[in-house]
Amino acid sequence: QPAPANRLPVCGTCGCAHRGECLAGQNVCYNCKKPGHMTKECPDRQQPQPQAQPQQQRRAGQQVQVYFVDQAQAEENPGTMSGMIILNDIHIFALFDTGASHSFVSKRCIEAIGVQLLDTVDPLEVSLASGQKIVTSSKAENLRLNIGGRILERMNAPNFAGTENPTAVLEWIKELDKIFTVLPLPDRQRVSLAAYQMKEDASDWWIDHWARRPEAELHALTWEQIKMMVRRKFLPKSFWDRMEHEFYHLQQGSSTVDEYVRTFTCMCLFA
């Protein structure tokens, strides 16, 4: 879509383009402006799901529910931003909702960027601002997104539910580290992405202990600090004790120097 002539003003508090009061750092929902939940969990956005037809049911027996807001609603919500992006080398106007779990593109844009649509395994039901509901069963994959000169390709960042399974904890950190190696994001964005990928117990821990702290303190957090805090919180003490014991009794043996150094560096975290 062509960019509108009346650009949204850039907020001096959060640095995003939006209208209305800036709610950043106030620990309130950007949708209803009430405390206690995030925009994606706002009860005002929840609508009863109609009885799904067999061909629209997920294999797990649940429907995917997503929401669409119009430009007027978006301008009043600090959780949304708008601007020009480059998708597969084509300039388009985009509306970003920071609480959204899915992204949608018009058929006109799909035709312009010349990509082929694929069928989805599970149809998505979209609730429009008018109350109308539509179902989409197509998706576009492997799109190149260019924002401010930085090209981002879709990466499936893993979720972390707060399990005390050491393998799951360390694998989550490892996978995010791999993503941050490819995408050299600043620490503030790394922390935001990591927090967004926390679910269930991990999300509760983050909200209770960190998300409610002063904005300046949150902005000072680094990804390295987050990794250490996650290890301290979710790795069981028995695992720490075992790794500490192995560290203090570490020997090179038949390992090469490089292998020994890598092992030593990794186990230093538990000393």
Q: Which of 130, 153, 176 is at the close of a domain? A: 153
- Say whether both 247 and 147 belong to one domain: no
What's the pLDDT score for residue 111?
82
159 assigned to some structural domain = no
Q: Which helix (H) or strand (E) holds 214?
A: none
What's the pLDDT score for residue 230?
92
48 assigned to some structural domain = yes
- Say whether both 211 and 248 belong to one domain: yes
What's the pLDDT score for residue 153?
52
What's the pLDDT score for residue 188?
82
First to last CA, the chain: 55
What's the pLDDT score for residue 224?
92
- Say whether both 54 and 81 belong to one domain: yes
Q: How far apart are CA 271 and CA 254, in angstroms?
A: 23
- Say whether both 186 and 253 belong to one domain: yes
- Say whether both 43 and 137 belong to one domain: yes
- Say whether both 179 and 127 belong to one domain: no
Q: How far apart are CA 271 and CA 269, in angstroms?
A: 6
Q: Which of 128, 153, 178 is at the close of a domain? A: 153
245 assigned to some structural domain = yes
What's the pLDDT score for residue 101?
59
- Say whether both 126 and 231 belong to one domain: no
Residue 189 domain boundaries: 166-270
- Say whether both 54 and 148 belong to one domain: yes
Q: Which of 153, 174, 206 is at the close of a domain? A: 153
Low-confidence spans in the chain with pLDDT less than 50: 1-7, 48-67, 78
200 assigned to some structural domain = yes
- Say whether both 138 and 53 belong to one domain: yes
Cβ pair 266, 255 in contact under 8 A: no
Predicted TM-score of the model (pTM): 0.44
Range 176-203 burial, b when 16+ CB lie within 10 A, else e: beeebeebebebeebbebbbbbbeeebb
Count of domains in the chain? 2
What's the pLDDT score for residue 223?
92
- Say whether both 128 and 181 belong to one domain: no
What's the pLDDT score for residue 48?
47
